[in-house]
Amino acid sequence: MSSPLPGDAPLTLPATLTIKNILAVQELILDFLNKNTTTVLDIDEEAQIDLSFVQLVTAARKQAEMKAGRVLLARPATGDLYDVLKRGGFLDDMTPEAAHFWLHQETN
């Protein structure tokens, strides 16, 4: 587990990350993942997010693990993203790894 480093490539995502444009977001992240070992997702704090995006990020993490890469968040989840995680049942009984990924919480 690690946090984004200054040299890690960030991928700035659009302000809408919902089912309406989730196909485009998938292609965007997939393309970036294929070109980079580390993918840092830069999500606007004001971004509009729904469950499809959280599922997409989960899938992206699995994809990265397959090729020994990694996906990180540029900053801990806030705003809509935090709300979706909470309402979607991702924060109850969170594993340390998940807590580190989504909330940047240290695991000790």
Partner 1 sequence: MNNPDPISVFRTEAAELLEQIESGLLDLTRSLEDRDQIDAVFRGLHTLKGSGAMFGFEALAAFTHHCETAFDRVRKGDVPATHELVSAVLSAQDHMRALLETPNGDHDAMSAALLDNLHRAVNGAGSPTPITTVIATNPVVEKAGGLREWRIRFSLPANAMANGTNPLGLLDEMRDLGDCRIIADTTKVPELATLDPRGIHLAWDVTLKTEKPRSDIEDVFIFVMDDMALEIMEVAVDPPATALVDMPVAKAVVVTEREAPAVQAANDSKQAKSAENVRVPAERLDEMMDRVGELVIAQSRLTQLAGTAADLGLRSVSEEIERLSGELRDTMMVLRMMPVASLFSRFRRLVHDLSRETGKEIELITEGESTEVDKTVIDRLADPLVHLVRNSIDHGLEQPEERLAAGKEAKGKVILSAHQTGGEVIITIKDDGRGINRERVRAKAEASGIIQPGATLTDQDLLQLIFQPGFSTAQTVTNLSGRGVGMDVVKKTVEALRGTIDITSKPGEGSTVALRIPLTLAIIEGLLVRVGQGCYVIPLSAVEECLELSLEDDLRSRGRSFISLRDSLVPFLRLRELFRTGTQPDPHQKVVVISTGSERVGLVVDQIIGDHQTVIKSMSKLHHDVVTFSGATILGDGSVALILDVTHLVAAGQQQEAQLRAAG
Q: By the criterion CB under 8 A, which residues form the site for partner 1? A: 19-20, 22-23, 25-27, 29-30, 33, 50-52, 55-56, 58-60, 62-63, 66, 84, 87-90, 92-93
Give the three-class secondary structure for 48.
strand
> 72 Cβ partners below 8 Å, 6+ apart?
2, 3, 4, 8, 38, 39, 40, 41, 101
Nearer to partner 1, 6 or 10 (CB): 10
Nearer to partner 1, 14 or 87 (CB): 87
Task: Give the residues across from 72 on adjacent strands.
Answer: 40
Nearer to partner 1, 60 or 72 (CB): 60
